[in-house]
Amino acid sequence: MRKLATSMTALATLFIATQAQAEDVEVLHWWTSGGEAAALNVLKGDLESQGIGWQDMPVAGGGGTQAMTVLRARVTAGNPPTAVQMLGFDILDWAKEGALADLNILAGMEGWDAVVPEALQQFAKHDGKWVSAPVNVHSTNWVWANKAVLDELGIAVPTTWDEFVAALEAVKASGKTAIAHGGQAWQDATVFDAVVMSTGGLDFYKSAFIDLDEDALGSDTMKEAFDRMGVIRSYVDDNFSGRDWNLATAMVINGDAAFQMMGDWAKGEFLNAGKVPDQDFLCFRFPGTQEQVTFNADQFAMFAQGPEVGKEQAALATAILSPSFQSAFNVVKGSVPARTDVSNEAFDACGKKGMADLKAAAASGNLVGSMAHGHANPASVKNAIYDVVTAHFNGEYDSAAAVDELVTAVQINK
Ligand code: BGC
């Protein structure tokens, strides 16, 4: 009885808190491209309409590596931002340090348990408590194509690795760039997610990246995956090094290149440029991964400011989890909702495919966390894998050496 009374009081306090005039939120994020900024404006607008101000703290760099470095510095200085865009294992790492606010009362009031997919809850909860608010579900095993370029060259959507290589060859022969790519470690790793899944299949991907099994990491299949990365490298243009991902997407949008392998945040760039799926561009799963989804979910973790979650933090979390926001935001962002009860009506063809793929993969056990985007292993391991993949992509190692380096790097960092 006493316990019930206490939690009722806590509930009432929280309710009053969320209704009361809230403070500004300071949000650390890495949504700096045109499409990402358009999506972020949906969230800013939502909060501003509730009288909550937005202090922007953008730190560019896909995958969030730089953002996480800035975050560490802010926390060390005793001045964490109110809310932080975060991925997978990073959320759990901060929760273990006791740095995150407890969102359990709010989550209970709003019934998050019943609507957020289990795969996301694994990263949104620590010790049974909600510690972050899931914004979306992205996935990395996509290919984006310029439809006019493919039509002109008579290229059908490739469904196998061999068909894909034949398509790349045909584009190269036409004088265009076959693959638009940005040579940054996280982008190389994003491609590697799909290549490893396609080369070895679901169980191999899990053994290598989730279980960090040495036999899988050191196998001939892994060597084959590195060989395929070498093939991909031979179809990128000479200026790929250091290029931002959205500039690579622009090459496909403009018809300078045929394909980009990138997560579905790339769709946000096409939409922001006024392009329409199936008319101007195509989205399809990386050949050989049609049944699988390598996912990453953006979440906002709230840094604890005291014993109670802040009013503005609660308001932000409520806004993020609302079904109307989940639809409006994800339609623009290129991702799909982090709730299972949101209609696909407002989504375009790629969004509808993304939602259907996610549902099917979750039901069949083909849904697995993205290594490149922090959903397969902690940052220390992820960054060690990044280093090897990038060094190989830039010709520092051949495939056999890359496999050996991968085994050692994971061993040291796990
Ligand atoms: C995030 C996306 C973001 C992408 C590129 C990923 O890690 O999950 O939301 O659009 O990086 O910045």
Region 312-320: mean pLDDT is 96
Question: For a substitution probing ligand 1, which of 29, 30, 269, 320 has the most ligand atoms within 8 Å of its CB?
Answer: 30
Rounded Cα gap, residues 92 and 189, in angstroms: 21
Q: Which residue, chain included where needed, has tokens 């403070």? A: 23
Residue 9 has pLDDT above 90, yes or no: no
**Hey, do 8-137+296-352 and 142-294+371-413 end up sharing a CATH topology, with the first three levels equal?**
yes
Task: Give percent above pLDDT 90 in the chain.
Answer: 93
CB atoms under 10 Å from CB of 242, counted, come to 9
Region 143-148: mean pLDDT is 99
The residues spanned by each domain of the chain are 8-137+296-352, 142-294+371-413
Helices (H) and strands (E) in the chain, counts: 19, 14
Using CA positions, which residue lies closest to atom 5 of ligand 1? 62
- Mapped onto helix, strand or coil, the DSSP state of residue 294 is strand
Using CA positions, which residue lies closest to atom 9 of ligand 1? 298
Closest CA to 383 of 362, 352, 346, 409: 409
For residue 240, how far is its CA from the centre of ligand 1 (angstroms)? 19
Architecture of domain 8-137+296-352: 3-Layer(aba) Sandwich (3.40)
C-alpha distances (whole Å) from 310 to each of 82, 85, 305, 347 are 9, 17, 7, 33
Q: What is the DSSP letter of 63?
A: G
For residue 175, how far is its CA from the centre of ligand 1 (angstroms)? 31
* C-alpha 139, offset from chain centre: 6
Q: What is the pLDDT of residues 334-378, one digit of tens each?
A: 999 999 999 999 999 999 999 999 999 999 999 999 999 999 999
Residue 23 confidence (pLDDT): 79
For residue 13, how far is its CA from the centre of ligand 1 (angstroms)? 35
Closest CA to 150 of 251, 237, 259, 233: 259
The upper half-sphere exposure of residue 77, i.e. CA atoms within 13 Å in the direction of its Cβ, equals: 9
Paired strand residues for 368: 294
User: Does domain 142-294+371-413 fall into CATH 3.40.309.10?
Assistant: no
Residue 171 has pLDDT above 90, yes or no: yes
Paired strand residues for 125: 130
Position 306 confidence tier, pLDDT thresholds 50, 70, 90: confident
Q: What is the pLDDT of residues 123-138, one digit of tens each?
A: 999 999 999 999 999 9
Using CA positions, which residue lies closest to atom 6 of ligand 1? 63
**185-205 helix and 220-233 helix, angle to the nearest 10 degrees:** 140
Q: What is the pLDDT of residues 219-245, one digit of tens each?
A: 999 999 999 999 999 999 999 999 999
Element (H or E) spanning 401, and its range? helix 399-413
Q: What is the dihedral of CA 211, 212, 216, 220, to 10 degrees?
A: 150
Rounded Cα gap, residues 318 and 324, in angstroms: 11
Q: Which range, of 19-23, 114-118, 320-324, 401-405, averages the lowest pLDDT? A: 19-23
Cβ contact 242:184 at 8 Å? yes
Q: What is the pLDDT of residues 196-209, one digit of tens each?
A: 999 999 999 999 99
Question: For a substitution probing ligand 1, which of 29, 31, 333 has the most ligand atoms within 8 Å of its CB?
Answer: 31
Rounded Cα gap, residues 73 and 77, in angstroms: 6
Closest CA to 400 of 230, 259, 283: 230
- Mapped onto helix, strand or coil, the DSSP state of residue 343 is coil
Residue 291 has pLDDT above 50, yes or no: yes
For residue 60, how far is its CA from the centre of ligand 1 (angstroms)? 10
Task: Give percent above pLDDT 70 in the chain.
Answer: 95
Region 253-282: mean pLDDT is 98
Residue 326 confidence (pLDDT): 98
Residue 228 confidence (pLDDT): 99
Q: Residues with beta carbon inside 6 Å of ligand 1?
A: 30, 36, 62-64, 87, 138, 265, 296, 298, 373
For the four alpha carbons of 282, 286, 287 and 291, in that order, the dihedral sign comes to: negative
Q: What is the pLDDT of residues 85-101, one digit of tens each?
A: 999 999 999 999 999 99
Using CA positions, which residue lies closest to atom 8 of ligand 1? 298
For residue 341, how far is its CA from the centre of ligand 1 (angstroms)? 23
Kindly state the tokens that stand for 216. 């899988």
Region 94-113: mean pLDDT is 97
Region 164-183: mean pLDDT is 98
Using CA positions, which residue lies closest to atom 1 of ligand 1? 63
Q: What is the pLDDT of residues 25-84, one digit of tens each?
A: 999 999 999 999 999 999 999 999 988 999 999 999 999 999 999 999 999 999 999 999
Average pLDDT, the chain: 94
Phi, psi at residue 102, to the nearest 5°? -85, 115
Residue 307 confidence (pLDDT): 86
The upper half-sphere exposure of residue 364, i.e. CA atoms within 13 Å in the direction of its Cβ, equals: 12
Residue 359 confidence (pLDDT): 98
